[in-house]
Amino acid sequence: MGVDLIDHMGNDDSIVRAARVSSGTTGSEAANKGLINMLARDRHGSPFEAVTLQFKIDVPIFVAREWFRHRMSSFNEVSGRYTVLEPVFYVPSITRPLRQFGKPGAYSFEAGDYQQQLIARSAAIRVGNSSWEEYTYQLDQGIAREVARNVLPLSLYTSFYWTVNLRSALNFLSLRWAHPDSTVPTFPLYEIERAAMQVEAAITNLVAPEAMKAFNVNGRVAP
């Protein structure tokens, strides 16, 4: 999963300024950290919207379609109507769990055996290659890109820009990473969870470490 933080506006200080707008005061570093923790703990969420993030995301189409369900953000995706797509297809890694157990809403997954890994990986490669041949053949025959693309599978990679405020990003992370510190159960798709880990690392390391600390300390519930 490709996740790159392209741009951002604001940081931990932006959250503090937004929260203190009524008092017009400034606090010490320790007081500001405590304020951010209180906001996360008591779910005073609007100050977290003072931070805006823009990511460049490269994921298979089946992952993007789950990502787009997070509607409190904006997306600009590459269009197969206007450009010839790239032949990049998702192939499950050997660490990807393959066996599914349980019932809807409470599935668990376990690693498959060697034979299952071989079947899953071979099928992904075979379908990717054959669909790409059909796609490029149609283009060579002068068929419009918006028609030719219809033969391509969900494993094809797509690219999009994701613009989101920090509050909505925390909602995304609370749902798309079954983190051991989460107090609310969630059952994310394996691939989107890998991407969510990268999103969180970027925010923690580059933008708002105190906000992310408060998010984790308070059960990973979006404010």
For the annotated catalytic residues, the residue numbers are: 176
- The Cα–Cα gap between 96 and 89 comes to 15
Cα 91 to Cα 27: distance, rounded to the nearest angstrom = 51
Query: For the purposes of burial, counting CB atoms within 10 Å of the CB of 171, is it exposed (0-12), middle (13-18) or buried (19 or more)?
Result: buried
The dihedral of CA 180, 182, 184, 186: what is its sign? negative
**Residues 38/80, Cβ–Cβ less than 8 Å:** no
